[in-house]
């Protein structure tokens, strides 16, 4: 690992798709039969995961924690978390969730462009801004309150559902349905 004070640029250079691959293999998220050279879609996803999450991971444990959010999502359990409850108790949070659900469930994979459009539409529909808008989105789709690195996790979900992982990935639509069912 590089020495000195870490910066985002150094993280992006340091964390490669091979690091993501190793974590997935160690955690049992990637099937033992996976052949790196024979699976271009999986290789592309690994590279994207490295590009999106790497700049936000100061160490291997941080990268692994972010990747775990892709593979682990249980709405009922995460709604028991006090920090998630605090986000959802804030004024306007339920309005944000309702608007998010309507847009996510309208169809289509959630990529960067679609996420930007959804956020822009939500800004016009609800009075929440900044953290009051983004924290409920992150809780609903990433499973926890946090900062911008969780937006990158969200961008990996729908593409991951199309791949053959040993652990099935819940996409944004499935997460939204599960979240809304658990919320009531």
Report pLDDT for 6.
43
Residue with tokens 């640029």: 9
Report pLDDT for 151.
95
Residue with tokens 């690091």: 19
Report pLDDT for 123.
94
Report pLDDT for 14.
79
Report pLDDT for 7.
43
Q: How far is CA 183 from CA 3, 85, 96, 141, in A?
A: 45, 10, 13, 13
Spatial contact of 177 and 105, defined as CB atoms under 8 Å apart = yes
Report pLDDT for 68.
97
Q: Where are the domains of the chain?
A: 8-183
- Which parts of the chain sit beneath pLDDT 50? 1-12
Spatial contact of 108 and 172, defined as CB atoms under 8 Å apart = no
Report pLDDT for 97.
97
Report pLDDT for 35.
62
Report pLDDT for 39.
81
Spatial contact of 175 and 144, defined as CB atoms under 8 Å apart = no
Q: How far is CA 180 from CA 11, 98, 116, 140, 176, in A?
A: 35, 9, 22, 8, 6
Q: What is the pLDDT of residues 54-79, one digit of tens each?
A: 999 999 999 999 999 999 999 999 99
Given CA atoms 57, 63, 68, 71 in this order, what sign does their dihedral have?
positive
Report pLDDT for 107.
83
């Amino acid at each position: 690992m590089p020495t000195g004070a870490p910066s985002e640029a150094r993280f992006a250079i340091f964390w490669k798709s091979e690091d993501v691959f190793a974590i997935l293999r160690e955690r049992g998220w990637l099937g033992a039969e996976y052949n790196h050279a024979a699976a271009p879609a999986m290789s592309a996803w690994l590279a994207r995961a490295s590009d999106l999450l790497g700049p936000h991971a100061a160490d291997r444990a941080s990268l692994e924690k972010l990747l775990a959010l892709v593979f682990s999502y249980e709405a009922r359990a995460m709604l028991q978390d006090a920090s998630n409850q605090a986000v959802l108790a804030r004024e306007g949070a339920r309005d944000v969730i309702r608007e998010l659900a309507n847009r996510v469930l309208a169809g289509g994979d959630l990529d960067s462009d679609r996420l930007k459009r959804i956020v822009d539409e939500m800004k016009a529909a609800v009075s929440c801004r900044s953290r009051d808008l983004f924290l409920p989105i992150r809780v609903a789709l990433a499973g926890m309150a946090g900062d911008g690195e969780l937006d990158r996790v969200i961008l990996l979900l729908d593409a991951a559902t199309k791949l053959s992982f040993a652990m099935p990935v819940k996409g944004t639509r499935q997460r939204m349905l599960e979240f809304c069912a658990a919320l009531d």
